[in-house]
Structure 1
Amino acid sequence: MNCWPGRSPWPPCPPCPPAPEPRRNQQPPDPPPTRPVGLAGTLYARTASGLVAVDLATGRQIREYGEAVPDAGWKRLHQLKDGRLRVLDLPSGQVRRETPVSGAQVKAVSRS
């Protein structure tokens, strides 16, 4: 029902603009890389089995340190195992010093 004889109830909408022409000879965008490019170095992470080292370039675990705690400068690790406190070199994991001690675990390392 038209309330205004001879007129439409609402003003007409303006015409829609024409659709843009498809671009020709345009290359699709490159797909994102499957892994980050240019990463190098070692990531140290705490896992259920202890501290591990991961090679960032390959994503592979390269070493497992067990329940070791790093010193403040991440130069050495301290590990209590079989009643002996071991100081390990990073990143090689070689034992630098060993001292018999009593205790269950190392929780923190201080410079003093």
Structure 2
Amino acid sequence: MMKHLYKYTLLLLLMITSSVFAAEKFTVELEMKDGELIPQVLEVPAKTPIRIKIRNTGTSPVEFESTQLRKEKVLAPGANSVVVIAPLKPGRYTFFDDFHLSHPQGEIVATEKAE
């Protein structure tokens, strides 16, 4: 009986711990509309996992792409998706809509948190 109680307690502790770590991602929202990036600059904390919620509100497909971060995601018109980025060093990282290259690029700015 104690053996089963120990296993269930350990399992519960593991589930609680993983949900706490999953909640520690910093979330920003990005709207992509026929080549327009709204906002064009995403400010995020450095050294923290980042979750970018992307919405395509345009009438054509879009592709979030960052060669620096090695991330890409294609979205059909009206689609929503998420891109997760590992913790970043402080700095500036570009991204763009690969289907609308004539439009301005966006930028992710990772800064240290003020103490």
> Does TM-score exceed 0.5, indicating one fold?
no
Q: Greater strand share, 1 or 2?
A: 2
Higher relative contact order (CA 8 A, sep 6+): 2
Q: Greater helix share, 1 or 2?
A: 2
* Higher radius of gyration, 1 or 2: 1
